[in-house]
A and B are shown apart, each in its own frame.
Chain A
């Protein structure tokens, strides 16, 4: 596996919303223009890195929401960041009512991001639901570097299907649980068939049970698998220890600063029944 990048020290900055569009049922694409608070231009994020996004000013909600970067571009004096946000609770709901011109405070980019292999390797990206957010970004970055990839994307149903997937240059296969778009079925079930075609690395993000299933299939095929973990977070910078998860070998994984991307072997998986942790954020 390529050497894992280390976490960056994010900075506080103000993001002004340039555009917001509901791109699928309850899923909004938001683009912010970032300027720094103290004259320092923010870093551009790498795929897999995230931001702590402030969703409201009052004392009712104290926590920011951790959101993966979905894309970025920029100039000498501006950084643009895209987020793909699914409305699942108060914070994400508030973000998805913002109008262009409104501003929010962002802390980032945070975390390590995916370790992208170099050269001629072939990569498989496996996304479940809103897990498409960082993996679409990863796919775009791979295209820029002429790195080969294929993507498997699973959604609950066709109304959640993320149309920009059609524009990717890699191979994309879509699965829905009800068969209303793409193939009928769960995306992880397609992984073994793909791995038989020969991949060097797998990158996955989605519900924890899905990522566990993908990681197990990668083990069987002796392919490295990077997983992007989700967690509730308070600080996002490693001080509160609120997002710490037990890892293998007695390690404590601080998802915000050691991750959120891990080699699947670093993660001590829970049993499937309690796996999904990305609810109601």
Chain B
């Protein structure tokens, strides 16, 4: 069988296919690489990193819901210096474009993160996480305000030559306005969507299921929300979009691309099957054909209305 050309151009970054491992569910890529051939993927977005190491939230941190997963990890990570010095050099052999995801508590912290990580030399792009629901400082408070979004994206843009993707939250009705602000401030693209704030309670003990009381919901349950966010932001900005939220199979990929995504991120589904992204990749040519397309590129934003 000849391999179909599934390549896409994501804001000038050549991806061999649109399938990207989402931030947070693939760690720093090395563990996944011991289970699946990650070189077959379009890209990997590394777990969000902060300036200093971060120990995250109290346990329990995860709770399964119908069609979804609540998490309150709280950005536990090794910090930017350890990532840049100890981990990134080991990732260059993975044979796949790497995006770092940065999460600062302040505008200046975002700028320092961008500069520090770019200097490591192995990254293709940065995802600017201004939408994590699980941290008190930074996180969603940046991404819920056009002014703060502008400030963060400009600061990162001025401190790196890497293309940057603003990761936004669909928990705000005005996500398209936030996306416009990111575009005007220099974002090369958007990454949509982060988890949606949510919670669960144990009726027997009356206690929250998560140690942090609330968390972020991911998985198939949030797919319709993610699709609308992609469509709204694509319509408003035309920026290249990494779309994700509940992608489970190759037909979900087609839906996200029709809504305006150029690439798609698979996260929670990798918990059910670590090789799900590769299964999706194998099924994608047939899904494209059924959608009447001969390449992924034809589908981007091609929803008929």
Which A residues fall within an 8 A CB radius of B?
A: 9, 11-12, 54, 59-64, 105, 107, 231-235, 237-246, 252, 274, 277
Of A62, A237, A246, A252, the contact of B64 (CB 8 Å cutoff)? A62
Q: Would B27 and A240 count as touching, CB distance under 8 A?
A: yes
In the complex, which residues 109-133 of chain B have their Cβ closer than 8 Å to any Cβ of chain A? none
Whole-angstrom distance between the Cβ of A135 and the nearest chain B Cβ: 24
Chain A residues near B67 (CB-CB < 8 A): 59-60, 62
Chain A residues near B268 (CB-CB < 8 A): 62
Of A11, A64, A242, A274, the contact of B272 (CB 8 Å cutoff)? A64
Of A59, A62, A240, A274, the contact of B73 (CB 8 Å cutoff)? A240
A239-B26 contact, Cβ under 8 Å, with A11-B35, A63-B271: yes
A107 to B35, CA, bound (A): 9
A232-B60 contact, Cβ under 8 Å, with A239-B27, A239-B47: yes
Whole-angstrom distance between the Cβ of B197 and the nearest chain A Cβ: 17
Instruction: Return the chain A residue nearest B53 by Cβ.
Output: A252
Instruction: Return the chain A residue nearest B59 by Cβ.
Output: A245
Q: Would B64 and A61 count as touching, CB distance under 8 A?
A: yes
Q: Chain B 259-274, CB within 8 Å of chain A: the 1/0 string?
A: 0000000001111111
Q: List 26 A-B contacts (CB under 8 A).
A: A12-B35, A12-B275, A54-B272, A61-B272, A62-B69, A62-B219, A62-B271, A64-B272, A107-B274, A231-B60, A234-B62, A235-B27, A235-B31, A237-B31, A237-B32, A239-B26, A239-B28, A240-B62, A240-B71, A240-B73, A242-B61, A242-B73, A243-B62, A244-B56, A244-B61, A252-B76
Q: Would B271 and A240 count as touching, CB distance under 8 A?
A: yes
Q: Is B58 an interface residue (CB 8 A)?
A: yes
A60-B66 contact, Cβ under 8 Å, with A240-B25, A246-B59: yes
Of B60, B76, B207, B220, the contact of A241 (CB 8 Å cutoff)? B76
4 residue pairs, one from A and one from B, having the closest CB atoms: A239-B27, A242-B62, A59-B220, A241-B76
Chain A residues near B2 (CB-CB < 8 A): none
Chain A residues near B27 (CB-CB < 8 A): 235, 237-240
A63 to B273, CA, bound (A): 9
Q: Is B79 an interface residue (CB 8 A)?
A: no
Chain B residues near A239 (CB-CB < 8 A): 25-28, 31-32, 47
Total contacts A to B, CB within 8 angstroms?
102
Chain B residues near A105 (CB-CB < 8 A): 273
Of A9, A238, A241, the contact of B61 (CB 8 Å cutoff)? A241
Chain A residues near B73 (CB-CB < 8 A): 240-242, 244
Whole-angstrom distance between the Cβ of B107 and the nearest chain A Cβ: 26
Q: Chain B 222-233, CB within 8 Å of chain A: the 1/0 string?
A: 000000000000
A60 to B268, CA, bound (A): 12
Q: Chain B 47-86, CB within 8 Å of chain A: the 1/0 string?
A: 1000000011011111110111101010010000000000
A98 to B110, CA, bound (A): 50
Chain A residues near B207 (CB-CB < 8 A): 274
Chain A residues near B28 (CB-CB < 8 A): 239
Whole-angstrom distance between the Cβ of B121 and the nearest chain A Cβ: 23
A237 to B272, CA, bound (A): 13
Given contacts A11-B35, A62-B220, 6 further A-B contacts (CB under 8 A): A63-B62, A63-B271, A235-B270, A237-B31, A241-B73, A244-B61
In the complex, which residues 249-305 of chain B have their Cβ closer than 8 Å to any Cβ of chain A? 268-275
Q: Would A277 and B272 count as touching, CB distance under 8 A?
A: no
Q: Would B274 and A12 count as touching, CB distance under 8 A?
A: yes
Of B24, B34, B63, the contact of A232 (CB 8 Å cutoff)? B63
A107 to B275, CA, bound (A): 11
Q: Would B56 and A59 count as touching, CB distance under 8 A?
A: no
A242 to B28, CA, bound (A): 15
Q: Is B165 an interface residue (CB 8 A)?
A: no
A64 to B269, CA, bound (A): 11
